[in-house]
Structure formats: C-alpha cells, structure tokens
C-alpha cells in the first residue's frame, strides 16, 4: 500500500483521502484537471488508480506524460476481453484494492467500463462515490456507455454535471437535489490548458507534432483538411455499418483531404474487410493528445462518433459533424459547433459540405465551460468530506 499523496506541502496524513479512477483514454483528460485542482487546493489527500482498460502506449502512457498526470499509485492491468470479462476483472481488482486501502470517497469519470465497475464495488463497500460527467443520457440502450451511465448514476452520491440536460435527467430519475452540482466540464478545463501549452511551444516543436501523413494531407488540400475519428461499436464492428460511412468519407475527401487516426477497434475491422477509403483519406495510428489537438483545432471540419470530441470542438469553436443517430451531449448542438448527421452517407456528406463551406455557426461556449470546473468539484468534495474552509 502506498502512502496517500498529500496535496500541497505539510500534509498531516489525516486528511480525507479520495481515490480517483482512470481506465480508458477519455478518462485521462478528465482526471488531469482534477489532479491539478486537488494539488492546488490542499484539503484532500488522494491516490490515482489505473484499471488498465486501455494499455497501448498511445492509448494511455502518452496521455499521462503530455497531460502532466502523475504515475498511478496502482495499476490493475485489466485491459481487453469482452465487456463482462473486463468489468468483472476490474471489479475483483478494485474490491481487493479498497479492502486493503479504504478511501473516504471514490471519484469516477465518464462512462466507460472502468467507471461502472469501480462504482459498483465502492458502493457495496459503503464508500461514497462522486461521478464526474453525471446525468448525460443518449436514450440509446444499445450503447454500452448508456448502460454504464445509468447504473453509475443510480449508485453515486455526488453528481458533477456538465450541461443543463444532465441536471434535468438526474431530477427526472429522482436523484436528490443536494447531490447535484452543475460545475461545467473538466474536459474543457483540460483542452483550454493544453491549447495554452500548445501556443507556448515554439514553431519548430509544433511542426514536429505533424506526421508525414498529416503533412501530405496539408499539401494536398493547400492547408485545408478535415479530421475523422470513429470507434463506436455500432459504427465500426459490423462491416455492413462501416461500409457506407467509409463511402461517405471517400466522397468528402474528393473535396477535402481527411486525416483519420484509427482506434484499435476500427483498425481491426478495416484490416479484416479491406474497405477502400480512397487515396485522400490518410490513416494514422492513434495520436498523442498534443499532436491530435494541433491537428483538429485548425481543421475545416471534424467528423466523429466520439463523445468528448463533440465537446472539445464546441469549446474551441471548430465545426463538428457527429456520425451517430443521437447524442447524450445536446448542448453541443444547441449552443456549440456540432451537427448530428446520423449514419446516412448522403446526410453526412451534405453536413460536411456545409461545414466546409462555412455555412454553419461556430456556436459559443456553454455556461461554466470556463476552464474552472475541477476547482468547483474539489470545493464540493472537500465540503462534503467535512473540510469546509
Ligand atoms: C472504450 C469505451 C468507450 C470510449 C473508448 C475510447 C467502454 C464500454 N467503452 O471503448 O466509451 O469512448 O474506450 O477509446 O468502456 N485495444 C487496444 N489497445 C488499447 C485499448 C484497446 O488494442 O490500448 C483494443 C482491444 O482489443 C480491446 C478493443 O480495442 O478489446 C476495445 O477496447 P475497449 O476498452 O474494450 O473498448 P473501446 O472500444 O476502446
């Protein structure tokens, strides 16, 4: 068992200790600002638990390095396998962990299997759970993340919410008002912080972030390009679902070269089926955070099925077309720069065309997406754990 990290100097070892859970790539961006806020605040001790759900260097370690997250205190190595296998392995490992080293609260983020697994274990052990990014609902029960969100929110004690729809959903589901905190979005804290770091880099360092494929796309498009990410099982696991999307991308790329960092799940289907994306869709390995930020923040359009990227593009005012039938993040549509295309190739192509032509508003940043969400979370946690100033 490691000693709890004392937040700030002079910790006395008796501060309430929270354990932060991170497992998959989209968790790391949410944990980084919370760690910074805990360090700055100093009222709580903390530890970082990595479940190992994501394990490739480019899906995990590189984010710790670039986002300045300290090495985890424990690492379970529970990646791969089916949903049940992965969830069960994480639950077993986390149960042993909290039995040996009981925290005063557990903080989970997002909607991945690690979020679900650790929430169930903590709650059964009688440890309060704080859910960051609570209350989001797509209404789509075929989406594994929707199940994870609903179960996590049915068990959590603190709900840290990113947008008003989340507050409404939690109220409708009967969650107690006293536990609901509309704090804004730690994902935005992170992107704002990292965009500043990117600005502070010298030109040479920034140029070095671009791979050869990116440079090819840039020169093909005379500096204009689009960015693609796809990894939702409903889009990429079944070749019959992926083929029409691939067709739409190929058609869009005739007007605008596309750069496509390929998630391991998607890589598998592309390799098995040999789907043809044409010469102007440039495939890359999963990108480190800074190289990817450098790429998408200046894109003419981002085409994605990611949840986080819908929000990050809204935060920086980059046009986004979402290749899904629904979104659990509706504020990106009503206030932000996102358009929901579904998976019909003609509609994807039309919305991409409009975005590329500059025909869609760039939107604005929603209330409290101001880079300060993690501080609000730490304030509420510290008060909740008896550490009011
Ligand atoms: C998970 C999350 C999803 C999130 C996504 C971001 C769940 C249910 N899904 O989906 O919400 O948007 O992460 O990436 O938790 N793999 C590797 N290397 C890695 C990680 C995964 O090769 O570092 C491969 C493995 O074969 C694995 C497969 O990708 O079985 C899928 O990984 P998994 O974590 O199960 O789900 P994701 O599709 O990544």
Q: Count the alpha carbons within 13 Å of 367 in the hemisphere toward its beta carbon.
A: 6
Domain extent listing, the chain: 17-185+369-384, 190-356
- Could you tell me if the CB of 77 is within 6 A of ligand 1? no
Same fold, 17-185+369-384 and 190-356: yes
Whole-angstrom distance, CA of residue 332 vs CA of residue 163: 9
Residue nearest to atom 11 of ligand 1 (CA): 112
For residue 306, the SS3 value is coil
Q: Burial-class residue 63 by CB neighbours within 10 Å (0-12, 13-18, 19+).
A: buried
- Could you tell me if the CB of 108 is within 6 A of ligand 1? no
Q: Which of 19, 97, 231, 282 is catalytic?
A: 231
In this prediction, residue 22 carries a pLDDT of 98
Q: How confident is the model at residue 110 (pLDDT cuts 50, 70, 90)?
A: very high
17-185+369-384 belongs to which homologous superfamily?
Glycogen Phosphorylase B; (3.40.50.2000)
Q: What is the pLDDT of residues 341-378, one digit of tens each?
A: 999 999 999 999 999 999 998 899 999 999 999 999 99
pTM comes to: 0.95
Q: What is the pLDDT of residues 53-78, one digit of tens each?
A: 999 999 999 999 999 999 999 999 99
Q: Is 231 among the residues known to form the active site?
A: yes
In this prediction, residue 214 carries a pLDDT of 87
Tell me how far the alpha carbon of residue 162 lies from the centroid of ligand 1, in angstroms: 23
pLDDT of 119 > 80? The answer is yes
Tell me how far the alpha carbon of residue 141 lies from the centroid of ligand 1, in angstroms: 18
Looking at domain 190-356, its CATH architecture is 3-Layer(aba) Sandwich (3.40)
- Could you tell me if the CB of 47 is within 6 A of ligand 1? no
């Amino acid at each position: 068992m490691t000693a709890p990290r004392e937040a700030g100097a002079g910790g006395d070892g008796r501060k309430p200790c929270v354990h932060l859970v991170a497992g998959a790539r989209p968790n790391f961006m949410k944990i980084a600002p919370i760690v910074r806020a805990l360090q700055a605040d100093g009222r709580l001790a903390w530890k970082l638990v990595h479940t190992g759900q994501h394990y490739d260097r480019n899906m995990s370690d590189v984010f710790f390095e670039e986002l300045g997250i300290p090495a985890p205190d424990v690492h379970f190595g529970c990646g791969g396998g089916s949903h049940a296998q992965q969830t069960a392995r994480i639950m077993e490992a986390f149960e042993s962990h909290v039995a040996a080293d009981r925290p005063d609260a557990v903080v989970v983020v997002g909607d991945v299997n690690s979020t679900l697994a650790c929430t169930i274990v903590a709650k059964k052990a009688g440890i309060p759970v704080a859910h960051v990014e609570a209350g989001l609902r797509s209404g789509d029960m075929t989406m594994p993340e929707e199940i994870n969100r609903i179960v996590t929110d049915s068990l959590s004690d603190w709900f840290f919410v990113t947008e008003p729809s989340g507050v409404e959903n939690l109220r409708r589901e009967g969650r107690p008002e006293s536990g609901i905190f509309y704090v804004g979005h730690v994902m935005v804290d992170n992107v704002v912080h990292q965009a500043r770091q990117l600005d502070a880099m010298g030109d040479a360092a920034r140029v070095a972030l671009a791979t050869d494929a990116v440079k090819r796309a840039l020169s093909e498009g005379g500096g204009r390009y689009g960015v693609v990410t796809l990894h939702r099982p409903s889009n990429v696991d079944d070749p019959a679902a992926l083929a029409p999307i691939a067709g739409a991308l190929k058609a869009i790329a005739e007007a605008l070269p596309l750069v496509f960092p390929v998630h391991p799940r998607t890589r598998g289907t592309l390799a098995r089926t040999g789907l043809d994306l044409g010469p102007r869709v440039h495939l890359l390995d999963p990108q480190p955070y800074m190289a990817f930020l450098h790429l998408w923040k200046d894109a003419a359009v981002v085409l994605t099925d990611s949840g986080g990227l819908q929000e990050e593009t809204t935060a920086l005012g980059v046009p986004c077309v979402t290749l899904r039938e629904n979104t659990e993040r509706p504020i990106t549509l009503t206030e932000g720069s996102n358009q929901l295309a579904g998976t019909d190739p003609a509609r994807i192509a039309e919305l991409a065309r409009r975005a590329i032509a500059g025909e869609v508003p760039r939107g604005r940043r929603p209330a409290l997406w101001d880079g300060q969400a993690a501080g609000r979370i730490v304030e509420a946690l510290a008060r909740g754990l008896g550490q009011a100033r």
